[in-house]
Amino acid sequence: MQDTLPFLSKNNPFPPFLSSHHDFPSLSRPRNLHFPTFSSKTITTIPLPSKPHPKIPEIPTVSPPPPSPPNAHSDFQEKMLYLDSIGLDFFSLIQHHPPIITASLNDLKSTVDFFASMNFTALELRRLLSMSPQILTAKPASLIPIFTFLLREARVNGSDLKKVINRRPRLLTCDVVTQLRPTLYFLQSIGISEVKRHTYLLSCSVEKKLIPRIEHFQRIGFSYKQTVSMFRRFPQLFNYSVRENYEPKLNYFVVEMGRDLREIQEFPQYFSFSLENRITPRHQCCVEKGVCFPLPVLLKTSEVEFHKRLEVCCNSSLPVKGSPLWCTKNCDI
């Protein structure tokens, strides 16, 4: 060892400059180096800095369409099948009255059951609904006051109630307070006492239909008293159109027939006969034969009776008014 390392002494194996140098610690007293101890139970994790998340562009929210009513398709089919089962064309009904689409099946059934309880047959109900589809969406609670009004105020006999409704189904779509009762009072005020015989007029508007027809006859020369008298004796006159009935028939009566308006006052039923099929052909026959019949004889008699009278008059002198031959039983007003 001495041969190999001559600079080392026996007493001090390391040179002085090494032991006292401030940069190196003495090797004779080695320091304990402290390293972190690793426990098998606890592992300390060192958190890493989080990576920035990429910015995701915001997508505008679109509100979904409102959900359809539950089982809407099924309800539609059920209504269609139900109405078909009682002989009603569903698509024809909704074409004329679309609210049937939104009406519930239970409401439709309750209305049909109500008419069945009133002894309306399936055939009668089909006719009612074909003429006034609005009836199908009318609930029994709104129909009962109408039946009550007809029985108690219009004095319709119970046995005639179905006939009244079948003749004028639109009555069941009218409101008692705003439509039926005001019309009843108006008809009574002009002297039509037995309104129950003319219930078809109850669905007419006083302001839009009844009064304008009275005013029309006043404009052509009749007094109010004369006009009311005509409507009192022939209430059906209210049902005819001014443009399609009154005007052409009055024009033919005055211009072609050359007759006095007082005859119409005495026989307002003149307006109930067809101009093309009854009034004109019979008037022309009389003109050809040189005969002039009173309006009741001219229009009310049957075809056979009319020609028989025509032949009698052509072969003899015309009887004077008041004679039993002037107007037979078949020609009474």
Q: Which residue has better confidence, 23 or 265?
A: 265
Q: For residue 160, how far is the Cα from the chain centroid?
A: 28
Indicate the residue type of 236.
Answer: Q
Counting DSSP H helices and E strands in the chain, the numbers are: 15, 0
pLDDT digits (tens, 9 = 90+) for 204-241: 999 999 999 999 999 999 999 999 999 999 999 999 99
**CA-to-CA dists, residue 40 to 35, 37, 43, 45, angstroms:** 16, 10, 7, 13
Terminal CA-CA length for the chain: 169
pLDDT surpasses 60 at 9: no
User: What is the pLDDT at residue 62?
Assistant: 43
pLDDT (mean) for 80-99: 90
The reported pTM is 0.69
pLDDT band at 311 (very low <50, low <70, confident <90, very high): confident
- Residue-wise pLDDT tens digits, 250-296: 999 999 999 999 999 999 999 999 999 999 999 999 999 888 999 99
pLDDT in tens, 285-306: 999 988 899 999 999 999 999 9
Residue 321 pLDDT class (50, 70, 90 cuts): low
